[in-house]
Amino acid sequence: MSLAREPVTAYVALGANLGDAAAALRQAIDELDQLPGTRVTARSSLYRTAPVDANGPDYINAVAELSTRLTAPDLLTALQALEQAAGRQRPYHHAPRTLDLDLLLYGDARIDSPRLTVPHPRMHQRAFVLVPLHKIAPALVGPDALAAVAGQGIQRLD
């Protein structure tokens, strides 16, 4: 893994709907804090939401703010390794999951590659991303964005 020279603020969405999803998210936040050159600087509360464009149990979601020296591609690789370690399988699109980690923002970078798109292309369509992101970084989510997802059910758990 390569480390960027200066720390970058990145935001990661966390979700799970299999097993003890809340425990999986708490453990993932601890593991994010242990990535090379990375510290969790803020975390949202946990939220319960119904699956979007999918079936299965409700999801538990959160957002974490990181200060990281990892490059965006290396951070993505680390996130995918944490998903795999948590037993993530991808049998079909939108399958239920033990852990889902999405890189939402990486500083002010705009990345559009076959492997990674930042900002996350669907983040502004999802209350389970915008509501917790707003709680830890209100300047990043305006009132219009929150209003656009107001009809999506979301319940704060802690």
Q: Identify the band that residue 90 occupies on the pLDDT scale cut at 50, 70 and 90.
A: low
If residue 31 lies in a helix (H) or strand (E), which one and from where to where? helix 21-32
Q: Identify the band that residue 123 occupies on the pLDDT scale cut at 50, 70 and 90.
A: very high
Among the options 100, 108, 112, 126, which is catalytic?
A: 100
Among the options 43, 48, 69, 88, which is catalytic?
A: 88
For the chain, give every domain's residue range.
Answer: 3-156
Among the options 48, 69, 97, 126, which is catalytic?
A: 97
> Is 43 a known active-site residue?
no
Q: Identify the band that residue 53 occupies on the pLDDT scale cut at 50, 70 and 90.
A: confident
Q: Is 8 a residue whose pLDDT tops 60?
A: yes
Q: What is the DSSP string of 81-102?
A: HHHHHTT---SSTT---S-EEE
> Is 53 a known active-site residue?
no
Q: Identify the band that residue 88 occupies on the pLDDT scale cut at 50, 70 and 90.
A: low
What is residue 30's three-state secondary structure?
helix
Into which CATH architecture does domain 3-156 fall?
2-Layer Sandwich (3.30)
Among the options 58, 102, 122, 158, which is catalytic?
A: 102
The Cα–Cα gap between 125 and 55 comes to: 18
Q: Is 33 a residue whose pLDDT tops 90?
A: yes
Q: Which among 92, 33, 85, 53 has a CA at the least distance from the CA of 12?
A: 33
Which tops the pLDDT comparison, 110 or 91? 110
Mean pLDDT of 118-140: 94
